Chain A
């Protein structure tokens, strides 16, 4: 990873570490949501941006994590342990699901994942004895971590998810994932164990939402099926990554920041426009900037090189 990017990351994390000491609860809450979106975008980026398996249902792992963490907390687990356990459960669930769904390609995989999210929502709604159905579960305030603890937990998850993405991107594993995205058959023909790599990427991309879902449940102190298995969350994950730059390290961070900020502004001033604006953004991005906002920098660099070549030749 380039040194400049590492320094940028250290500065950003350093600023984030001190913010709760002087910012208002509103701003801290905004940042909790921002970190949540960064972590979720990075998770989606691993399986969809890097590997090319576009998931329309990653909120399923978020929901599994939210319920698992809440139930574990109620069963007496310390909050930090409940986060780890919930991530582990989401990861475990993802193994058989990955083995089944990763045989599918293109739209079939996307639809299977969309179905998975719906199955999760229906189970959470109907399994009333455990989940209290549509009423949801309100968590006892006494057992909940403080806002600052949620903030740092979510920050840690965003940093870990970004660090994991960077490690994958610059490691041989990431190169193999990108080869799978480009041409799975050709990748297998040059020695890439596609099944193992896809499954690893899928499990990693499920662990993160599992943990994030738990912290989200603690942050809101309430879970119900429609809030944690929300189709809109799936759409937001896609928009954030596509907007920022799919398959890159910083694209999901940039996309998550823009979408969360935009949502905050629109939610407060034009609530009816909120989701329409997110959809419009996605449409514009796919049509005019398929490489995401990060590709503008690359396009400028390429244009400058072309111009330099042109003036050198003429």
Chain B
């Protein structure tokens, strides 16, 4: 354990209730600096709520959220962003009436003199340099997701939360996106990724947390959690077990 990097993000006993619904129930999670960590779980398990709380959009939670050894629970989203924690949304939220270039520049720090050049460099890297003056609403959905991803890179964050970044994106752009994630990770950027494609999780993530009904049921490397009964139960329910046993009996 001694060689493990220190956590860049750490939550402790994180709770979020909506009336009688317990969306998060004492979530303890650590994202190691320099890692790509996966957050998986069935629909409604609390993954996006977790992102909303950590990124400051939802400030109604209790517990602790430590980013770079500073408590950030209760801070506003823009304060968290300027500390180096950025996120993307499940559904694309580019600014529809702003051009692609404006979409990127607005996300840079206010007194960043090199914002325009960085934006041009990022767009070139994903071959969107011809779309500089195109308005956000005129991009394809996949391009919008990519621009949204590039947008959060403008502040050079140390941790990026990606909420299903490849959902609805065509395979070519999806590959571009994951290549970019790998490249940035090699340069030191940490990622926490919500993703339903388990091949991507297996391929990218060094550690995976599994959320079910607002609780972390297990965590570890993908190989370890893949066959964990608690994970299978979270996804398929208890009914799966007798069915599987019945199936294996039939084959026997």
Contacts and interface: CB of A to CB of B under 8 A. Distances in A.
Interface of A: 172, 175-176, 178-179, 181-183, 185-194
**Most A Cβ at <10 Å: residue of B82, B110, B155:** B110
Which residue of A179, A182, A189 has the most chain B CB atoms within 10 A of its CB atom? Answer: A189
B32 interface: no
B95 A182 contact: yes
A193 B81 CA distance: 10
A179 B109 contact: no
A182 B96 contact: yes
Contacts, number: 66
Contacts of A190: 78, 81, 86, 106-107, 151-152, 154-155
Contacts of B152: 190
B106 A179 contact: yes
B97 interface: yes
* Chain B: number of interface residues, binned into ranges: 20 to 34
A188 B78 contact: yes
B78 A194 contact: yes
Contacts of A178: 95, 97-98, 102
A192 B106 contact: yes
User: Secondary structure of the A side of the interface?
Assistant: helix
Nearest to B112: A172
B15 interface: no
Given A172-B110, A175-B105, A175-B106, A189 B81 contact: yes
A191 B93 contact: no
Contacts of A187: 95, 106
Contacts of B106: 172, 175-176, 179, 187, 190, 192
B95 A186 contact: yes
B55 interface: yes
Contacts of A192: 78, 106
Contacts of B78: 188-194
A183 B95 contact: yes
Interface string B107-118: 101100000000
A185 B154 CA distance: 18
B110 A179 contact: no
